[in-house]
Amino acid sequence: MEPVSLSVTSTAFAEGEYIPAKYTCDGININPPLDVEGIPSETQSLALIVDDPDAPMGTWVHWVVWNIPVSKHIAENHIPGEEGMNDFHQLHYGGPCPPGGTHRYFFKIYALDTTLKLPSGTNKTQLENAMHGHIVGYGALMGLYSRMR
């Protein structure tokens, strides 16, 4: 069954717009608020992956979170579930911090028909493997950031 489309928005920035510095390494480096609409009734938990496909050495992972209770809102500066390892080798949100140019940052929300039993330190690939076959909804919000603008 194909996952339903979720609407992911933020009061901090709109789709395709610049992410305020507050949510980056140039600010206080906290996660922005996110709102999710269209969550299917069979959803048992949410997962969140934030990544940058424009990084020079390949996609850079900024945040990995799973077992987020089903909710239409993820608050600013809040750990909504269990956190995994990002590419900064940290178990928490690492905001946009591109080495140069303008990069795209994707805030991807997955609605899952289960909760996941994963160890601390789980990375993006391990989370994606664990979610396989359990995704009932998916949506993403893309924001831009440049340290040179």
Domain 4-146 is found in CATH 3.40.50.300 = no
Give the model's pLDDT for residue 129.
98
Question: Residue 148: what pLDDT?
Answer: 64
Q: What is the pLDDT of residue 25?
A: 96
Please, which residues bridge with residue 103 across strands?
A: 145
Q: What is the pLDDT of residue 1?
A: 72
Phi and psi for 34 in degrees, rounded to 5? Answer: -130, 145
Domain ranges of the chain: 4-146
Inter-CA distances, 63 with 40, 41, 123, 148, Å: 24, 26, 9, 23
Walk along the chain (149 residues) and give the pLDDT tens digit of each residue: 789 999 999 999 999 999 999 999 999 999 999 999 999 999 999 999 999 999 999 999 999 999 999 999 999 999 999 999 999 999 999 999 999 999 999 999 999 999 999 998 999 999 999 999 999 999 999 999 998 65
Residue 102 carries which side chain, given as an amino acid letter? T
